[in-house]
Amino acid sequence: MKNKLVYLTTNPHKVEEANEFFSKKYGFELEIVNPDFEILETQAKTCSEVVAFSVKYASEKLGRAVLKSDSGLYLEALGGLPGPYNSYFDKQIGIDKFLELFKNEKNRKARIEHCFAYCEPGKEPIVFSGGGTGTISYKAKGTRGRWHDKFYIPDGETKTLSELREENYEYEASFWGDAKDQFARWYQENILEK
Q: Which residues are catalytic?
A: 70
What lies within 8 Å, CB to CB, of 189 at 6+ separation is none
Rounded Cα distance, 20 and 95, in Å: 28
Side-chain-facing half-sphere of 139: CA atoms under 13 Å: 5
Rounded Cα distance, 155 and 133, in Å: 6
Q: Which of 110, 103, 114, 129 is nearest to 14 (CA)?
A: 114
Strand ranges (DSSP E) for the chain?
5-8, 30-33, 66-75, 82-83, 109-119, 126-136, 152-154
Residue 97 and residue 138 in contact, taking contact as beta carbons nearer than 8 Å: no
Using alpha carbons, list the distances in angstroms from residue 92 to 82, 88, 101, 182: 12, 6, 13, 33
Rounded Cα distance, 192 and 153, in Å: 37
